[in-house]
Amino acid sequence: MTTSLPTTMTAIVSPRALPISDESSLVETTVAIPALRPHDILVRVEAVSVNPVDVKTRAAAHDSPKTLGYDAAGTVVAIGPQVQTYAVGDEVYYAGSILRPGSNADYQAVDERIVGRKPRTLGFADAAAMPLTTITAWEVLFDRLGLTASSTGTLLVVAAAGGVGSILTQLANHLTKATIIGTASRPESSAFATSMGADHVIDHHGDLAAAVQAIAPAGTDWIFSPHTASNLDAYAAAGKPFSAVAAIDDPNTLSMAALKNKSMSLHWESMFTRSSLETADMVEQQRLLTRAAELLDAGTLVSTRTTTLEGFTAANLREAHRLVEAGDMVGKVVVAR
């Protein structure tokens, strides 16, 4: 089923690996409207958010133009022949697949099994800030680290004011009984982490293990890590025996020997595993986003959008990349139409 659509659209692409200061690093071009696979919906994109994965993908070597974008909110304008969940006119939010053209375009084709209905109470900009970080945080907490509603241990959230850290803190605060120690290095990021639900906030630029032990002398039960290689010794010192670390970054090399003495475990989290490998349970991301939308509509969770750039242009997307690449973002940056 389709509505009347153009045959071409505007996309903002990365022609090749270039520094974000180069005006050619992200440029507007005209491309064909994407064809739909059986389970695809076609979405008119209204807002996108930029994440570290956008920056990494843009900076990685590529010899053909790439349409980036791994967070979006918009309206369904066409559906594939096997779509069961959505209809034309539905408002949705999602994080897409790293293996397919991204959301920095007028329209995007995305598998319905990784798409959630947009929270009714949020505008497109607030909704676009949420999917990738919410999926990542949810999978870290409940799939990798195994927390439950009755969990009462101590959770260390490194970079608690960042994109994933800020929603992970909210989820842990509202859906578990864990004590949350967040890390931040500036007054504004510390205040944001506290507003997200951190019980304590410490400076991750100091002696991390000592700061943790001053609050939790017995150590932490779980650690969320977006910066693993440089902190692994501190995690080993701060963690309890048999505790766990969940990491989302991509260190070039990593020695885990420091964790052995305490029999600590390290879990990797990539929210693109389900979409990239089309796992049998990939619909779990649709269910996850649906549950998150209910929590957002109830006011239990709040959007982590802190910066909005109005106008879906290459210049605004370059600015969003620059903000994320600087490494000191509080919350999320969104580019909206």
Summarize pLDDT for 13-34 with one digit per residue, the tens: 999 999 999 999 999 999 999 9
pLDDT above 90 (res 1): no
For residues 94 and 130, give the distance between their C-alpha atoms in angstroms, rounded to a whole number: 8
Does residue 3 form part of some domain? no
pLDDT of residue 206: 86
pLDDT tens per residue across span 199-224? 999 998 889 999 999 999 999 999 99
Token readout for 240 is 């309890």
Share of residues in the chain with pLDDT > 90 (%): 97
Same domain, yes or no: 42 and 126: yes
Domain boundary among 268, 296, 319: 268
pLDDT tens per residue across span 160-203? 999 999 999 999 999 999 999 999 999 999 999 999 999 999 99
pLDDT above 80 (res 2): no
Domain boundary among 268, 302, 327: 268
Does residue 239 form part of some domain? yes
State which residues form the domain around 175: 138-268
Tell me the average pLDDT of the chain. Answer: 96
Question: In the predicted model, what is the mean pLDDT of residues 259-275?
Answer: 97
For residues 115 and 99, give the distance between their C-alpha atoms in angstroms, rounded to a whole number: 16
Which pTM value belongs to this model? 0.96
List the CATH number of the domain containing 35.
3.90.180.10
Same domain, yes or no: 246 and 169: yes
Same domain, yes or no: 15 and 84: yes
Does residue 273 form part of some domain? no
Domain boundary among 239, 268, 297: 268
Question: In the predicted model, what is the mean pLDDT of residues 57-65?
Answer: 93
Q: 252 vs 77, which has greater pLDDT? A: 77
Same domain, yes or no: 100 and 169: no
Same domain, yes or no: 117 and 210: no
Q: Are 38 and 82 in contact (CB under 8 A)?
A: yes
Beta partners for 332?
305
Does residue 92 form part of some domain? yes
Does residue 205 form part of some domain? yes
Does residue 2 form part of some domain? no
Same domain, yes or no: 205 and 289: no
**Cα 260 to chain centroid, rounded:** 30
Same domain, yes or no: 159 and 246: yes
Same domain, yes or no: 166 and 206: yes
Helix (H) or strand (E) holding 240: strand 239-247
pLDDT above 70 (res 82): yes
pLDDT above 70 (res 275): yes
pLDDT class for 57, splitting at 50, 70, 90? very high
Same domain, yes or no: 13 and 88: yes
Same domain, yes or no: 169 and 121: no
- Indicate the pairing of strand 305-310 with strand 265-268: unpaired
Helix (H) or strand (E) holding 322: helix 314-325
pLDDT of residue 302: 98
Does residue 72 form part of some domain? yes
Does residue 1 form part of some domain? no
Helix (H) or strand (E) holding 164: helix 163-175
pLDDT of residue 204: 84
- Per the structure, the count of domains in the chain is 2
List the CATH number of the domain containing 181.
3.40.50.720
Beta partners for 74?
45, 92
